[in-house]
Amino acid sequence: MTVFEDESVVDDAALASALPGDFRSAFAEVNGTTLHYVAGGQGEPLVLLPGWPVTWREFRHVMPLLAERYRVIAVDLRGMNLSAKPDSGYDKRTMARDILELVHHLGYSKAAIAGHDIGSMVAFSYAINHPEAVTELAVMEVGHPDPSLYELKLLPSEGAPNLWWFPLNQIRGLPEQLLAGRMRFVVDYVFDSHLVDRSKVGEGDRQAYARAYDSADAVRAGNGWFQAFDQDVADFRTYGKVTVPMLGLASPANFAGIRQTLPQSGTDVRLAMIDGSGHFLPIEQPEAVAQALIDFFG
C-alpha cells in the first residue's frame, strides 16, 4: 500500500476522509469532555495517541498501513486540536480515563493502545489503571513521568538535549501571552531540531500543527500536560508494573534511555530501535513503525 502523501490537506475532516482505509473524523462526549478522533480500517481496535506539538495527524502515514489489520482510532488528547480544552484534567490518569470511556463509547471492552510522547504517558497510565481494558501497550520515545524529571538540568551538558519547553510550559499565564499566534516558530524549531530529515514535515503539516496550537486556549491546554507532571510523578510512585505485554520503540538517540528505564516498568517488555529517525518516529519512519506494531500486536 502506498502511504498517503498529500500534505497540502490541512483540514482534519478532509485529510481523514482522504486516507486509504475509509477513515472518518468524529467526536465523542466522554469523561466530562469532548474528544475528537479519526477512525477507519477493519479488525480489532487499536488506539493511537499523539504527543506535543502535534495532533492525530502525526500518525497519518501509519494509519493506512495498520488499517488492513485493525480498526484504527487516532485520538486528539484532551486539550489538543479539535478536542475540548477544559480548565483541568491534564494529569495522565484522568486523560487515560478519557480514552477508556472513548473505547467503551465505540462499543469495545478492550483495545490495543500505542502512544508517542505525551500520548505514550497517557497510554502507559491507561495500561496501569485499566489493565482489564487493554490487550497490549506500545510506547514511543518515553514512558510515564517519573521522579527522574526532577533531575533534568536547566543548562544541559554538551550533546544533551535542551528541553527548554519543559520549564517554559510549567509557567502559568505567560506562555499564552508569548506564543498565541506565534506557535509556527515553536513548531518549526521543534521539528527542525528533532528530525533527521526536515523535509519529512512539509509546509502543509507545519501549518496544520501551528494552527492546532496557535490560540491562547490551545497553548494553555497543551501546557496543562506539562503542569500536571507533579501529580503524574506522585501517581507513578503508587503504581506497580504494567502486566500486559509492552513494546518500547525509540530513535537511536533515545534508545539507551528506554532500554535503561522501561524494562523496570513492566513484566513483559520488548524493545526495538527505529533507525533513520529522530523523535517523531511515526512521521519519519512510518513503514518501520507500522511493521513493528503489526509484529507486536499480531
What's residue 162's pLDDT? Answer: 85
- Domain of 284, in residue numbers: 12-297
Contacts of range 132-135, beta carbons closer than 8 Å, 24 or more positions apart: 133/100, 133/103, 133/104, 133/109, 134/110, 134/244, 135/44, 135/110, 135/111, 135/244, 135/297
CATH code, 265: 3.40.50.1820
Confidence at residue 1, expressed as pLDDT on a 0 to 100 scale: 36
Residues (pLDDT < 50) of the chain are: 1-4
Model pLDDT for residues 38-84, shown as the tens digit of each residue = 999 999 999 999 999 999 999 999 999 999 999 999 999 999 999 99
Q: Is residue 101 part of a domain?
A: yes
Task: Look at residue 6 and tell me if it is in a domain.
Answer: no
Helix residue spans in the chain (DSSP H) = 12-18, 63-66, 92-105, 118-129, 165-170, 174-179, 183-194, 203-213, 216-227, 229-238, 252-261, 281-284, 286-297
Closest by Cα among 10, 23, 62 to 288? 62
Helix 229-238 and helix 118-129: axis angle, to 10°? 30
Q: Tell me, yes or no, whether 1 lies in a domain.
A: no
Residue 118 falls inside a structural domain: yes
Residue 257 in any domain: the answer is yes
Does residue 136 fall inside a structural domain?
yes
Within a domain: 7: no
Amino acid in the structure at residue 119 = G
Predicted local confidence at residue 144, as pLDDT: 97
Contacts of 237 (CB under 8 A, 6+ apart): 147
Strands 246-250 and 269-273: parallel
* Domain count along the chain: 1
Distance of CA 262 to the CA centre of its chain: 17
Look at residue 282 and tell me if it is in a domain: yes
Looking at residue 9, its pLDDT comes to 53
